[in-house]
Amino acid sequence: MQEKREWVSTQLQKIIEDWIRQCCINDGMDQETIDNSGGKIFEFGSYRLGVHTPGTDIDALCVAPKHINRSHFFSILPEKLRSCSDVSKLVTVEDAYVPCIKLIFSGVDVDLLFANIDTRSVSRDMESLDEDYILRGCDFNSIKSLNGRRATDAILKVVPNLRNFQLTLRCIKLWAKNRGVYSNVMGFCGGVAWAILVAYICQQNPNLEVCQLLETFFKYYRLRTWRFDNPIVLGEILNDRNSVSFRIDDPDGRLFYREDRRYLFPIITPAFPSMNSTFNVNQTTRNNMITEFEKAMEITHHIMQKGVDSQITWKRLFKKFPFFKAYQYFIEVQILSATEDIHQKWKGRVESLIKQLLNLLSRLNDNIYKCLEFRPWPKSYNLGNRASEDKGSYLLDDAYYFGIRVKRLGDNQ
């Protein structure tokens, strides 16, 4: 599978070089520009961190020179990719917080982001995006896209023992997915946030082994005071716009982290500009994560205290959360579409609105809210024969679920 991923990355590199060259020809560029524009694919996320599994997506960033713009990326590149026999299920997601093209390349899921930088040429030999001058002249969306790779590389630089970090992060990712608390869109921590949380524990405890890091991880984050003014930071918050000699716009106020009472679970990215990677976390999902931290803390503490005599094994830590057995009532949100392209866009739109629904549930009057517990499940399910009777000509369907449980007396104590 590793060889397949490397092959996919190599093929994407060839495709984007051909695409950029064709864009230059179409736009009437001179021959020198046509020959030297280049273009480069940078991986980031789990693949870059070395913690990917066979089913993990490839997070890839296409970096192009300044004369190749976002319109080229979303209008011309998709058609070029669709003409490739290895590509299937391609959809463009232009209105996402970080716009991207989603596709399956020879069986591998790929999320392809775009950034153009202030240069006439992007060489295949370019190895790093770490220097802040890379951001000069970049638009808002390019900076957000570049931050994925820049944050990933910054994390790798601060961990004292790479192998221990990777093993611990693999464990935490498996635990979070099995317990249903892995999804930035649904209001939990996403991949970057979990990586930062693990890196912070490794940074603060450089001499601990993996099992000790796991115990420390759950204990620390369960007992931590989660407040807007107490963020997790790997080093310092890099937010001084005066540290660079060029202007960076922040139209929605989220590009540069600032203390904000709306941030209930702040985890800050370690590259300039520092962003809050968990702006979607709300009161409900924060409580869900803290509850899971507490359960995991008890399990790991028991295992570490009892050692080989423990009747509880590490398998218990990774036990899947029985979502549909744990709750008495459910809200079902159905997503019905006629085509794959429309479905993915509509699904993304619904996902973006789920945070608002959770906030509405959380703001129920105190008398009701105190006796109810809500929990979204981050995985969508195919409805099959359970789709609404008015499904009509809709060919594709998904559903998200929210569990609702009436708290028992004493649950709040």
Q: Supply the pTM of this predicted model.
A: 0.92
Confidence check: pLDDT of 236 > 50: yes
Q: Is 173 a catalytic residue?
A: yes
182 annotated as ligand-binding: yes
Q: Is 182 a catalytic residue?
A: yes
**Marked catalytic residue, from 9, 46, 145, 274:** 46
58 annotated as ligand-binding: yes
Find the range with the poorest average confidence among 43-57, 85-99, 252-266, 299-313: 252-266
Q: Is 57 a catalytic residue?
A: yes
185 annotated as ligand-binding: no
> In whole angstroms, what is the distance from residue 182 CA to residue 175 CA?
9
CA dist 40 to 113, 125, 172, 297, 390, Å? 12, 8, 31, 43, 47
**Marked catalytic residue, from 40, 47, 142, 182:** 182
397 annotated as ligand-binding: no
- Three-state secondary structure readout of the chain: CHHHHHHHHHHHHHHHHHHHHHHHHHCCCCHHHHHHCECEEEEEHHHHHCCCCCCCCEEEEEEEECCCCHHHHHHCHHHHHHCCCCEEEEEEECCCCCCEEEEEECCEEEEEEEEEECCCCECCCCCCCCCHHHHCCCCHHHHHHHHHHHHHHHHHHHCCCHHHHHHHHHHHHHHHHHCCCECCCCCCECHHHHHHHHHHHHHHCCCCCHHHHHHHHHHHHHHCCCCCCCCECCCCCCCCHHHCCCCCCCCCCCCCCCCCCCCCCCEECCCCCCCECCCCCCHHHHHHHHHHHHHHHHHHHHHHHHHHHCCCCHHHHCCCCCHHHHCCEEEEEEEEECCHHHHHHHHHHHHHHHHHHHHHHHCCCHHHHCCEEEEECCCCECCHHHCCHHHCCCCEEEEEEEEEEECCCCCCC
Q: Is 111 a catalytic residue?
A: yes
379 annotated as ligand-binding: no
Token pair 């601990």 is found at 208
The per-residue pLDDT for range 337-394, each reduced to its tens digit, is: 988 878 888 888 888 888 888 888 877 745 565 678 889 999 999 887 555 556 566 8
Q: Is 97 a catalytic residue?
A: no
260 annotated as ligand-binding: no
44 annotated as ligand-binding: yes
**Marked catalytic residue, from 173, 177, 219, 345:** 173
The per-residue pLDDT for range 100-148, each reduced to its tens digit, is: 999 999 999 999 999 999 999 999 999 999 999 999 999 999 999 999 9
> In whole angstroms, what is the distance from residue 60 CA to residue 40 CA?
10
Find the range with the poorest average confidence among 19-33, 241-255, 268-282: 241-255
Average pLDDT of the chain to the nearest whole number:
90
CA 138 from centroid of its chain's CA atoms: 22
**Marked catalytic residue, from 59, 153, 397, 398:** 59
| Residue 343 main-chain phi, psi, to 5 deg | -60, -45
The per-residue pLDDT for range 152-192, each reduced to its tens digit, is: 999 999 999 999 999 999 999 999 999 999 999 899 999 99
**Marked catalytic residue, from 57, 109, 118, 132:** 57
Please say whether the beta carbons of 350 and 400 come within 8 A.
yes
Find the range with the poorest average confidence among 9-23, 214-228, 377-391: 377-391
> In whole angstroms, what is the distance from residue 7 CA to residue 19 CA?
18
89 annotated as ligand-binding: no
Q: What is the band of 252 on the pLDDT scale with cuts at 50, 70, 90?
A: low
**Marked catalytic residue, from 37, 47, 111, 398:** 111
Q: What is the band of 251 on the pLDDT scale with cuts at 50, 70, 90?
A: low
284 annotated as ligand-binding: no
pLDDT at 276: 94
281 annotated as ligand-binding: no
